Amino acid sequence: MLADEGVEYPVVERLREDGHEVTYVAEMEPGIPDDEVLDSANREQALPITADRDFGELVFRQRRVHSGVILVRLSGLNAQAKASIVSAAIEEHAEEYPGAFAVITPGVVRLRRRED
Protein backbone atom coordinates (compact mmCIF):
# COMPACT_ATOMS: atom_id res chain seq x y z
CA MET A 1 0.00 0.00 0.00
CA LEU A 2 0.99 3.60 -0.51
CA ALA A 3 -0.53 5.94 2.07
CA ASP A 4 -0.93 9.56 1.01
CA GLU A 5 0.25 12.13 3.54
CA GLY A 6 -3.36 13.07 4.42
CA VAL A 7 -3.83 9.65 5.98
CA GLU A 8 -3.25 9.97 9.70
CA TYR A 9 -0.20 8.18 11.08
CA PRO A 10 -2.18 5.93 13.48
CA VAL A 11 -3.96 4.46 10.42
CA VAL A 12 -0.61 3.75 8.75
CA GLU A 13 0.78 2.32 11.98
CA ARG A 14 -2.25 0.02 12.43
CA LEU A 15 -1.99 -1.28 8.86
CA ARG A 16 1.69 -2.03 9.44
CA GLU A 17 0.82 -3.82 12.69
CA ASP A 18 -1.71 -5.87 10.71
CA GLY A 19 1.15 -7.05 8.50
CA HIS A 20 0.65 -4.79 5.48
CA GLU A 21 3.64 -3.24 3.79
CA VAL A 22 2.83 0.47 3.77
CA THR A 23 4.92 3.23 2.23
CA TYR A 24 3.92 6.58 3.75
CA VAL A 25 4.30 9.70 1.61
CA ALA A 26 4.72 11.85 4.74
CA GLU A 27 7.86 9.86 5.58
CA MET A 28 9.24 9.88 2.05
CA GLU A 29 8.24 12.88 -0.08
CA PRO A 30 5.81 15.18 1.75
CA GLY A 31 4.07 17.67 -0.47
CA ILE A 32 4.18 15.76 -3.75
CA PRO A 33 1.12 16.31 -5.94
CA ASP A 34 -1.69 13.75 -6.03
CA ASP A 35 -0.97 12.75 -9.62
CA GLU A 36 2.60 11.87 -8.61
CA VAL A 37 1.29 9.82 -5.68
CA LEU A 38 -0.93 7.91 -8.11
CA ASP A 39 1.95 7.47 -10.57
CA SER A 40 4.19 6.20 -7.76
CA ALA A 41 1.53 3.72 -6.63
CA ASN A 42 1.25 2.45 -10.20
CA ARG A 43 5.04 2.07 -10.52
CA GLU A 44 5.28 0.24 -7.21
CA GLN A 45 2.14 -1.80 -7.93
CA ALA A 46 0.84 -0.54 -4.60
CA LEU A 47 -2.73 0.23 -3.64
CA PRO A 48 -2.99 3.94 -2.74
CA ILE A 49 -4.91 4.89 0.38
CA THR A 50 -5.86 8.53 0.77
CA ALA A 51 -8.13 10.98 2.56
CA ASP A 52 -8.06 13.33 -0.44
CA ARG A 53 -11.16 13.41 -2.66
CA ASP A 54 -9.04 14.78 -5.52
CA PHE A 55 -8.16 11.16 -6.31
CA GLY A 56 -11.72 10.74 -7.57
CA GLU A 57 -11.05 13.58 -10.00
CA LEU A 58 -7.89 11.84 -11.22
CA VAL A 59 -9.58 8.46 -11.68
CA PHE A 60 -13.01 9.40 -13.02
CA ARG A 61 -12.66 12.77 -14.75
CA GLN A 62 -9.06 12.64 -15.93
CA ARG A 63 -9.31 8.87 -16.53
CA ARG A 64 -5.86 8.29 -15.01
CA VAL A 65 -4.60 4.73 -14.95
CA HIS A 66 -4.86 3.09 -11.53
CA SER A 67 -4.82 -0.34 -10.00
CA GLY A 68 -7.31 0.67 -7.33
CA VAL A 69 -7.71 3.51 -4.82
CA ILE A 70 -8.98 3.52 -1.25
CA LEU A 71 -10.49 6.82 -0.09
CA VAL A 72 -10.94 7.20 3.66
CA ARG A 73 -13.89 9.43 4.59
CA LEU A 74 -14.01 9.29 8.38
CA SER A 75 -14.03 12.92 9.47
CA GLY A 76 -15.08 13.63 13.02
CA LEU A 77 -13.64 10.40 14.40
CA ASN A 78 -10.48 10.17 16.45
CA ALA A 79 -7.39 8.67 14.85
CA GLN A 80 -7.67 5.36 16.74
CA ALA A 81 -11.27 4.86 15.63
CA LYS A 82 -10.24 5.61 12.04
CA ALA A 83 -7.41 3.10 12.30
CA SER A 84 -9.79 0.39 13.53
CA ILE A 85 -12.38 1.05 10.82
CA VAL A 86 -9.80 1.13 8.01
CA SER A 87 -8.12 -2.03 9.31
CA ALA A 88 -11.42 -3.92 9.43
CA ALA A 89 -12.53 -2.65 6.01
CA ILE A 90 -9.26 -3.66 4.37
CA GLU A 91 -9.39 -7.10 5.95
CA GLU A 92 -13.04 -7.65 5.01
CA HIS A 93 -12.83 -6.45 1.40
CA ALA A 94 -9.19 -7.24 0.48
CA GLU A 95 -10.10 -9.22 -2.63
CA GLU A 96 -12.36 -6.45 -3.99
CA TYR A 97 -9.96 -3.48 -3.93
CA PRO A 98 -7.76 -4.17 -6.96
CA GLY A 99 -9.08 -2.11 -9.87
CA ALA A 100 -11.81 -0.45 -7.79
CA PHE A 101 -12.27 3.01 -6.34
CA ALA A 102 -13.29 2.27 -2.76
CA VAL A 103 -14.68 4.71 -0.23
CA ILE A 104 -14.51 3.75 3.43
CA THR A 105 -17.09 5.55 5.60
CA PRO A 106 -18.39 4.62 9.06
CA GLY A 107 -20.19 1.31 8.65
CA VAL A 108 -20.05 1.21 4.84
CA VAL A 109 -17.48 0.42 2.16
CA ARG A 110 -18.57 1.46 -1.33
CA LEU A 111 -16.72 0.08 -4.34
CA ARG A 112 -17.01 1.50 -7.81
CA ARG A 113 -15.33 0.39 -10.98
CA ARG A 114 -14.71 2.84 -13.77
CA GLU A 115 -16.47 2.02 -17.02
CA ASP A 116 -13.99 2.67 -19.82
| Each residue's pLDDT tens digit, 21-66 | 999 999 998 899 999 999 999 999 999 999 998 888 888 888 887 8
What are the sequence ranges of the domains in the chain? 2-112
The DSSP output letter for 28 is: H
Give the pLDDT of residue 104. Answer: 97
The whole-angstrom separation of Cα 15 and Cα 63 is: 28
pTM, to two decimals: 0.90
The DSSP output letter for 62 is: S
The whole-angstrom separation of Cα 58 and Cα 25 is: 18
Give the pLDDT of residue 116. Answer: 58
Neighbour-count burial of 83, counting CB atoms closer than 10 A to its CB (0-12 exposed, 13-18 middle, 19+ buried): buried
CA atoms within 13 A on the CB side of 95: 1
2-112 belongs to CATH 3.30.1360: no
Which residue type does 37 have?
A: V
Give the pLDDT of residue 80. Answer: 95
Average pLDDT, rounded, for the chain: 92
